[in-house]
Structure 1
Amino acid sequence: MLPPAQPVISRSGLILLLCLIALVAASFASLPLKWSEFFTADAARTSIEFLRGFAPPETAPAFLEKIAFSAAETLSMSALGTGIAALAGIVLALPAGGRFGRIARLGTRMVLNVLRSIPELVWAAILLIAAGLGPFGGTLALAVHTAGVLGRLFADALENASPLPESTLRINGVRPTVAFFYATLPQVLPQIMSYTLYRWENNIRAAAILGVVGAGGLGQMLKYHLSLFQMQQAASVIIAMLLLVALVDAVSFLLRRWMTR
């Protein structure tokens, strides 16, 4: 029995690896990283003193009821924003995947680049001016940014799908739209669902942060209590954020595992 072949690194791969190592080294050399001050006794003392202000978390029933309402608002923002973004991403992925010609592909991909290059906080600051304070602007901000991300991922999945099944149906007289839904879409649907669930996980974190600019939810509560130095109330909000993220991560993991069976 022949021994397994040893992996071979191509010259381009080796050059890329060396460039990445050089970039990391240059980053350490150029940034003013004060490691000696970070690991001092004074830094440890002030950090511990700051963290002690968060204990014990606020557990008053009325306050926990407010947290539950804000957590539900944050969850709704992330779910609705992700759902809108998934629908918009599928629509934009069709021309971005090259199904309507090269010009449509380039134009749509430029739009997707703009949508995902602008962070959610910036989109929220822009949309809150038009929509006003509250969860509506935050939901739109999540939807716009996520549509750019999912549109690009969906377009790549469509381009990487095998064209043979759809071509076979079209040769036999099936209309292009019907051939797409019966041949190409089933190939990429698991990827589309996986990408959508992953972005939902990210958006639950982003929705919690968008409240800082007035988009509602747990983030708005956190900003309010931190600005008043009410650390115990802020600790309860942070714990609620952690539990909500863990819950969404667990649900997303179970759904992805169920789809891959």
Structure 2
Amino acid sequence: MRGPKRSRTTWIVLAVAFAAVVWSLDGTGVSVANLAAGWEGARDIFSGLFPPELDGELLQAVGRAALETLQISIAALFFGTIGGLVLAVLMAGNIGAPRWLSGGARLIATVCRSVPELLWALVFVAVVGLGPAAGVYAISLHAAGLLAKLVSEQLEAVDPAPVEAMRMTGASKLATGLLAVIPQARNNIASLVLYQWECNIRSSAIIGFVGAGGIGQALGISMRLFRYQELATLMIALLLLVVAVDQISRFLRRRMGAATR
């Protein structure tokens, strides 16, 4: 009886999922006709991107913007990782933090990751003004909330046997967490941190549109002034930056023993 019942449940889930997709497509107005109707405008934009602008002065400015984007991503990773790890340790159930403390940490993490980086950037632009500092603060908060959730799940997924063995010896919660929980999850945690670095690069490009520095700010100016060849150069620089960070992350993950190809 279990087989037919499971089969019916699967079909019901698939039917509900299909209905949700159809409902979403209808509500958002997604259709091939819309794409076809706007193709001419898109073609004008794409044709304006070529050839990219390769003026020496522009390339120097693009290089400075790329370096600023890299600085934003690294600084935000530093603050986000510290905040995320602290929150994750407090949130993880097998660490055993007091309920009021773990609940507070979970609330803070939820707020940090629920607010998009773009909104955080608008807040910090109003607080500290235009520039990369606002981008660092904005990305740091979102990264801390996201890492807190993902890292706490990694901590809770470790093998419970060493944890219980240490507790049976009378070890404190702090010692158990430091010696039995975190060492088991450290490679996965490091991989998550490296992936967050890649996300920070992309996020810094987005929040730059509201004046938070980096390539994103230059992209926003080029788009508003319809400088499409300059925009193409900036897009290529951003692509190269993302690829470089991705390769560095893959190299570091391989060094840590992660199975990357």
User: TM-score if structure 1 supplies the norm length?
Assistant: 0.88
Give the C-alpha shift of residue 179 in structure 1.
3.1
Amino acid aligned to 1:214: G
Structure 1 residue 37 displacement after superposition: 4.3
Q: Is it true that 1:192 corresponds to 2:189 in the alignment?
A: yes
Cα distance in 2 between the residues matched to 1:250 and 1:244: 10
CA distance in 2, matches of 1:206, 1:219: 9
* Structure 1 match to 2:165: 168
Measured at CA, do residues 173 and 36 of structure 1 come closer, stay the same or move farther in structure 2, by a change above 3 Å?
closer
Percent identity between the two aligned chains:
36
Matches within 5 A, 1:201-240: 201-240=198-237
Could you tell me how far 1:12 is from its partner in structure 2?
5.2
Rate the CA distance shift 1:175–1:36 in 2: closer, same or farther, 3 A: closer
Query: Which residue of structure 2 lines up, in the alignment, with residue 124 of structure 1?
Result: 121
Pair 1:64-2:64 in alignment? no
Q: Distance in 1 between matches of 2:49 and 2:122?
A: 29
Runs of 4+ in 1 over 6 A off after TM superposition: none
Instruction: Provide the residue aligned with 2:241 in structure 1.
Output: 244
Residue 220 of structure 1 deviates from its aligned partner by 0.8
Say which is worse superposed, 235-244 or 104-113, in terms of deviation: 104-113
Q: Which amino acid aligns with 1:201?
A: E
User: In the alignment, what sits opposite 2:89?
Assistant: 94
Aligned ranges for residues 16-31 of structure 1 at < 5 Å? 16-31=13-28
> Which deviates further from its counterpart, 23-32 or 128-137?
23-32
Q: Could you tell me which residue of structure 1 aligns to residue 257 of structure 2? A: 260
| Structure 2 CA distance for partners of 1:167 and 1:113, relative to 1, 3 Å | same
- Structure 2: unaligned runs, 5 residues or longer: none
TM-score normalised to structure 2 length? 0.88
State the number of aligned residues: 253
Name the CA shift for 1:88/1:10 in 2 (closer, same or farther; >3 Å): farther
Please give the root-mean-square deviation of Cα atoms over the aligned residues, in Å: 2.1
